[in-house]
A and B are shown apart, each in its own frame.
Chain A
Amino acid sequence: MFNTTIANLIGLSWWKKVSTAIMFVAVLLFVLVWILPLVGAIFTALRPLQDLRAHGFWSIPQEFTLENFAVAWDLGNLNTYLKNSFIITIPSLLGTLTLSSLVGFAVSQYKFRGNMFVYLLFLSGMLLPFQILLIPVFTLSNYLGIYNTYLGLIMIHIVFQMGFCSFFLTNFMSTIPSQLAEAARIDGCSEFKIFYKIFLPLTKPALAALGTLQFTWIFNDYIWALVLIRSDSLKPVTAGLATLQGQYTTDWGVLVAGSLLAAIPTIIVFILLQKYFIKGLTMGMGK
C-alpha cells in the first residue's frame, strides 16, 4: 500500500505533485479554522475568570485551573442535567426509531389505498417549521397535563422526529426487494415476523445512521426543553447550561467548561457509530 503510493508519487507529473501539495495546505488551513473555536473553548474553560477579565479573550492565559469543570459539575448542576438529558433522549430515540421503521415497512411494502397519502403526510410533517408549533404544542401539553414532565418532552421529540425518520426509512426499505417478503409469506411467516426477522436486520445500517443523527438532534435540542420544561430538576443539559448565562455578567469559564462536558456523550456516540453513519448517508449513491 505504502509502496504503491510512493510509486504513484514518483510517477506523477510535476503539476500533479504541486496540486497535491496545494490541496494539502488548503485542507490543513480549513482544519485549523474549523478547530480554532474548539481550541478557544478549551483555553477559556481552563483559565480563571479574573484572568479572562483582565486580559480579554484573545490573550495568552497566565494561569490554568480545572476549577471551572468542578464548579460546572457541582454548582452548575451538570450532574442532574446530564442525567435528565439521557432520561429524555434514550426513550425518544427508541420510540422514534421503532415507530418510524414500522411506518417505513408498511408504506414501502404494502399496496393499499392512501398509501401515498400517508407517505406525503409524514413528508409534509417534516417540512413544517417548528416555530409555528411552539404555542399549540404548549397549549396541548398543558391541556393533557404533561406540561413540565419528562413525558411531555419525550412525546414531542418522538412525534416531531418521526416525519424525517419515516421519510428516510420508507425510501430505504423500498430498495429492499419485495420478493424477500413474498418468499417468507409462502413459507408461512407472519407479517410481523417478516418485518422483525427480515426487514429490520437489512435496515440496520440505515437505523444506525439515523440513530446517530437523531441522538445528536434530540440531545442538543434547546427550544422544546425551554418551552415545555420549567423545573430545574427536569431540565436537560442544553437548557440547564443556558441558565448559567447572566444578565450582565456571565462566568464564561464555567459555562464553556460545562458545554465541553456536555459535548462528550455526543462525541462518544458519534465515534462508536461513525462507520455506519457514513455508510448510511452514502447508501444508494452508487446506483
Chain B
Amino acid sequence: MKKIIIFTLAFCLLLSFGVAVEADSLDGELIIDAYTSDPAPRAAMNEMVETFQEMHPDLDIELNITAHEDFKHAIRTWLASDTPPDVFTWFAGERAEYFVRNNLIRDITHIWEEEGLFDLYAEGYQRESIFDDKAYFLPHQTYIWGVFYNQEIFADLGLEEPETWDELIEVNETLKENDITPFTIGSRYEWTTAGWFDHLNIRINGFDFHQEFVTGEVPMTDDRVVKVFEKWKELIESDYFIEYPASYSWHEALEYMEDDEAAMYLMGSFIHDSATDELSEKLSFFPFPAIEKSPTAVEAPIDGYMMPVHAQNVEAGEEFLRFAASVEGQQNWVEDVGRVVPNPNVPEESYDEETLRERELIDGAEGIAQFLDRDMEEDFAITMMGYLVEFWENPEHYMDILERLEDERQFHFEQ
C-alpha cells in the first residue's frame, strides 16, 4: 500500500512537472503546408516560420511549400488522410466555407476571441472568415485589384486618374489619339477576364447583388447581368484593349506596358512582382471608376490559415495562428511582399505609399470580393470564365452566349 502511495505521488509530481514545462514551451512536430510558391511570398513564408521557430526552439517545424495550382487539388487528399497538416494556407470566403461544410476544419473562434480579432479586424475580413457565427479562418494578408497605370504616360499626356465612367472613356480616347492602347490584358488563362466582370458587375449593380450573383441564384439572362455585358461590349468594340488577348498569358501581356504600347492593366497588386524594376517604379493604381455605384466595395482576395479537424499538434498549431494574427507575424509580408494585412496595429511606416492607399480602401470597404473563381463554386466559375473569353472574341453575340451560360447555370445549380 505504501509503495502504491509513493508511486502515485511520484507520478503526480512527474506529471505536474511535465505540465509545467509544457506551459512554457511547445514541443513535438508542427506541420505547415503552404501554397506560397511564388518567389517573393515563398521567401516571406520561410522568414515568418523562422521567426516562429526562434520563439519556440523546441518545436520541430516542417514547412511544406507546394505549387499553388497543385496544392488546390492535393489539399483535398491531405485533409482526408489520418495525418493531415496542423496548419495550412487557404482562401477566405466560399472556398473556406466549402471545407467547413464538409466538417474538415477546426473551429478557431476562441483564438479570435482571445486575440480580440472581432474588434481588431475590419468588417470585410470578418465577413469572409466567419460562417454560422463561428470563426474558422484566420485572414493573414491580401492584395487589392485595381487599374494599374503608367504614371509617366499619364503625366506626358496631362491625364488624371479617372473617377467616373465618363472620365475613364475620356482617358481612353486621349490615349488612343496618341497611339497608345488604353488597356492590356492576357486571357490565355481565362481568369483575367473575370476581373473585368467582377468590377463591372460591382460598379453597375452593387456589391450586394454581386454577392447574390456568385451564389448562382441569379439567371444569366437577368436584365442586370445583361447590362454588365452591354457596358463591357462597348469597351471592347471601341478598341480600348490590345488585339488578340487570348494569345497571351497575363504576364506576357505585360510586355505591352514594358514597351509603353499600353497604359493600363486591370490587375492585382502582384503585378509589381512580375514587372521589371523599371516599369514597377512607374506604376500606380486607381480603384475601378464609379459607374452607377460609387467604388466602396473592393476586390481583394484574402489568403490566410486554417486548421484541419484532425490536426495532430493542436496546441502548436493554435500558437502559430496566434502568431500569424499578431503584428510580428504579419509585418514582414507588408515590408517584403507589399501585401496589405488585417492587423491595424502594423505601423504605417511598414507600408509604402501605394499599399497604404490599398489598406485604406480595404479597411473602409463595405465588402471585399474574393474574385469570381474564389467566390463562386469552382467548377461553375471555370465554365463561366470560358464563356467570358468567348464573349471577348465575339462581343456582338453576347445574348446568345448568355443564353447558353444560363443553360449551364441551370444544369449546375438546379439539379
Which of B31, B67, B275 contacts A242, CB < 8 Å?
A: B67
Docked Cα-Cα span, A54 to B64, in Å, equals: 32
- Does A96 interact with chain B (Cβ within 8 Å)? no
- Does B119 interact with chain A (Cβ within 8 Å)? no
Count of residues in B whose CB is under 8 Å from the partner chain: 40
Q: Which one of A117-125, A212-220, A246-254 is at the interface?
A: A246-254
Count A/B pairs, Cβ under 8 Å. Answer: 88
Q: What are the residues of chain A within 8 A of B81 when measuring CB–CB?
A: 138, 142, 147-148, 230
Which of A145, A230, A249 contacts B85, CB < 8 Å?
A: A230
Chain A contact residues: over half helix, strand or loop, or mixed?
loop
Which of A138, A227, A250 contacts B38, CB < 8 Å?
A: A250
Count of residues in A whose CB is under 8 Å from the partner chain: 26
Interface residues of B (CB under 8 A from A): 31, 33, 35, 37-42, 62-70, 74, 77-78, 80-83, 85, 250-252, 254-255, 258, 268, 270, 273-278
Docked Cα-Cα span, A232 to B34, in Å, equals: 11
Docked Cα-Cα span, A250 to B251, in Å, equals: 10
Question: What are 11 of the A-B contact pairs (CB < 8 Å)?
Answer: A53-B251, A142-B82, A148-B83, A231-B62, A233-B62, A246-B38, A247-B68, A248-B250, A249-B39, A249-B251, A250-B38
Instruction: Please determine whether B65 and A243 come into contact, CB atoms closer than 8 angstroms.
Output: yes
Instruction: Please determine whether B270 and A245 come into contact, CB atoms closer than 8 angstroms.
Output: no
Docked Cα-Cα span, A50 to B278, in Å, equals: 10
Instruction: Please determine whether B64 and A53 come into contact, CB atoms closer than 8 angstroms.
Output: no
Which of B69, B270, B275 contacts A53, CB < 8 Å?
A: B275
Which of B35, B63, B77, B277 contacts A247, CB < 8 Å?
A: B35
Q: What are the residues of chain B within 8 A of A50 when measuring CB–CB?
A: 276-277
A100 to chain B, nearest CB (A): 29
Given the contacts A50-B276, A142-B81, A230-B33, A245 and B69 also touching, CB distance less than 8 Å: yes
Q: What are the residues of chain B within 8 A of A246 when measuring CB–CB?
A: 37-39, 41-42, 67-68
Docked Cα-Cα span, A135 to B77, in Å, equals: 8
Instruction: Please determine whether A249 and B274 come into contact, CB atoms closer than 8 angstroms.
Output: yes
Which of B40, B41, B62 contacts A232, CB < 8 Å?
A: B62
Instruction: Please determine whether B37 and A243 come into contact, CB atoms closer than 8 angstroms.
Output: yes
- Does A265 interact with chain B (Cβ within 8 Å)? no
Instruction: Tell me the nearest residue of chain B to A138, going by C-beta.
Output: B77
